[in-house]
Chains A and B, each alone.
Chain A
Amino acid sequence: MRDRRAAKTRSLAKVLLGVLLAGAATANAADIKIASVAPDGSRWMQQMRAGAEEVKTRTAGRVTLKFYPGGVMGNDAQVLRKIRIGQLQGGAFTAGGLGERYPGLNLYGIPLLFYSLDEVDAVRKQLDPELAAGLEQAGFVSFGFIEGGFANLLSNVPISTVDDMKRKKVWVPEGDNISFLAMETMGLSPSVLPVTDVLTGLQTGLIDITFASPVAALVLQWHTKVKYITDLPVSYSMGVFAIDKGAYSALSADDQRVVREVMGRYVQQLDHEAREDNRKANEVLTKSGLTTVTVKDADLEGWRKTIESIHPQLRARPDIDGMLFDRLVGMLAEYRRTHP
């Protein structure tokens, strides 16, 4: 009932905007419904709600961002479906979750692509605006990306070389085809499980090795089931806060500017905070009894060579933008040349 009423309000706003005078739009309130997996009360939600409050004030109540936290609207795919039918207008997604709409977002998550956070910063500075523009063309307005951080390997036996992983059951997230391909090519045995089954999987021996950022490892409580953490940046993850372009375009130009400026600012803050959070969470992981395994330089080469050998295959996939991939690899090569 509520949804139908909101949809009606929105379409009315669109009509007034598109057909009547643009100025008339200022008289219409827009209710933008946004889903998030983050629990209510979490830092993410606090920031999003603070942003929404500011948007509401600065648009004199014309734009209301309403949140559905705690994953109550389902996973990324379900939220996308609900956006398509107009039940929602936006969401906080994983980059991979929006990758089906815009493959550019799958790039940063390619396993072992980045060697360090400095490399991430150098690439993101150049490429983030392009990814945002590409996503906008695909129908979503984003206000910047939020770091999830590097995932590290978590295991019950020390892992420092690719060989250590062989014959072990390695977790791959459901739907993460790129990681699956990478693991298979490396001769590993990937076990596909939803993220919520990993804890039990580690307990029952269904999987031996998993990976997560320090923050995610703590939140998912995987630290209670593993003994080792390998200090290798396995893959970089990112969150994307985005709303449907149609809903955004229905706002007046002034209101659009306010939403973009305010939400962009809060997103940027979360992006910055994420790094410090992961640093602290990593300290806590070590304090809670996990042993850090450091990969030797010689072994690092082994990891990188193995994964780079499948770059041509990755590049050719429909869920990878080949041209962007080439540019990204070029940027990294340039960065490594200038930062030996």
Chain B
Amino acid sequence: MSFATGCASLIGGAAADTLSAVILNQDDPALIESGVPAYLLAIDGLISQHPDNIALLSGGAQLFAFYGSRFVTPERAVTLTAKARRYGNRAICLAHEPACRWADADYTQFVAQLEAVDKKDIGPLYSYAVAWLAQLEATSEDWTAVAELPWVEAVLERALALDETYEDGQLHAYLGILNCLRPPALGGKPDVARDHFERAIELSGGRDLSIKVEYARRYARLVFDQELHDRLLTDVLNAPVDAPGKTLFNVLAKQEAETLLASSKEYF
């Protein structure tokens, strides 16, 4: 990669996007697992040289979140996703100045202030949310993570209002997951979750198999719909993995689909 020595004007979105594309189009998770750390170091280096580059910070936030939540030990996940969160925070703070003071807002103020984010800033807003989610997942044993869920959900809702098609329906997929975290008796909304998952599948053209896996794992298991669970996972196993920007996730999704399907009989 030549971007390590490139000038600031070249590194922005293009480099981060190329970097992401190289990773996301891989079909060998083992290669990613061993190869991505080098990219992460490179991104770290670039960010230290260009600390105000929003696209780099956004890309860094997403890559650290992705790697930290999928490929490392729980202890390292905490460290790596914390860095993702810092990059995500900085990206949105640079893109949308009032965001620099969001940490001081209470929930009601925070939700109101999100309304001021423009569509042009959906990229950093999305990275901010994804990095935050990854950090919450890595620290899910901590009550702070439970406390912050409504905040990050509000960010995703705002991004969805700005452009529901962003990243081929990923916003819907995340909201589907969040609405399934709690059973209905504790405030969860499986019906809302189902609509989000269905819309996410539609917007991704059915090519993003990880959405179906989450739909099965979160929703179908929550509402005890074994028929839906097994059908979604069988679909995933029968689907092709190759899809631009989705290949890596699809390979991982197939591995998970196999595990989930194997435990179906025991769970239901």
Docked complex: B84-120 residues within 8 A CB-CB of A: 106-108
CB-CB nearest in chain A for B140: A41
Q: A68-B224, A221-B149 are in contact. Are A287 and B144 (CB under 8 A)?
A: yes
Chain A, interface residues (CB within 8 Å), range: 20 to 34
* Known contacts A39-B222, A70-B222, A75-B185: A281-B149 contact under CB 8 Å: no
- The contact string, 1 if C-beta is below 8 Å from chain B, for chain A 203-239, is 0000000000001001111011101000000000000
B1 part of interface (Cβ distance < 8 Å): no
Interface segment out of the listed B21-29, B176-184, B207-215, B250-258: B176-184
- Which has the most chain A C-beta neighbours within 10 Å: B183, B184, B223? B183
Q: How far is the CA of A98 from the CA of B183 in the complex (A)?
A: 21
- Given A72-B224, A280-B143, A219-B150 contact (CB < 8 Å): no
**Quick check: B150 and A221 within 8 Å, CB to CB?**
yes
Residues A260-314 near B (CB distance < 8 A): 277, 280-281, 283-285, 287-289
**A219 near B182: Cβ-Cβ < 8 Å:** yes
Residues of A near B30 (CB, < 8 A) are none
B182 close to A39 (CB less than 8 A): yes
- Across the interface, A71 reaches (CB within 8 A) one of B143, B146, B147, B183, namely B183
Nearest chain A CB to B74 CB, angstrom units: 15
Contact A39 B181 (CB under 8 A): yes
A316 part of interface (Cβ distance < 8 Å): no
Bound-complex Cα distance A221 to B223 (A): 21
A338 CB-CB contact with B under 8 Å: no
Are B182 and A285 in contact, with the CB atoms below 8 A? no
User: A40–B222 contact, CB under 8 A?
Assistant: yes
Q: Looking across the interface, which residue of chain A has its beta carbon closest to that of B148? A: A288
Residue of A nearest to B184 (CB): A71
Residues of B within 8 A of A196 (CB): 184-187
Are A223 and B147 touching (Cβ within 8 A)? yes
Chain A, range 13-49, C-beta contacts under 8 Å to B: 37-40
Known: A39-B181, A70-B222. A221 touches B187 (CB 8 A): yes
> Which of these, A195, A199, A288, contacts B147 with CB under 8 Å?
A288
* Least CB separation from A283: chain B residue: B143
Q: A39-B181, A71-B184 are in contact. Are A219 and B222 (CB under 8 A)?
A: no
What residue in chain B is nearest A43 (Cβ atoms)?
B141
Residue of B nearest to A227 (CB): B106
Q: Could you show 18 A-B contacts with beta carbons less than 8 Å apart?
A: A39-B186, A39-B188, A69-B183, A72-B222, A72-B223, A196-B184, A196-B185, A196-B187, A219-B186, A221-B149, A221-B150, A225-B108, A227-B106, A277-B143, A281-B143, A285-B147, A288-B147, A289-B107
* A positions within 8 Å CB-CB of B: 37-40, 68-72, 75, 195-196, 199, 215, 218-221, 223-225, 227, 277, 280-281, 283-285, 287-289
Known pairs A39-B182, A221-B149, A277-B143; list 11 more (Cβ under 8 Å): A39-B222, A70-B183, A70-B223, A71-B185, A72-B224, A199-B187, A218-B147, A219-B186, A224-B107, A224-B150, A227-B106
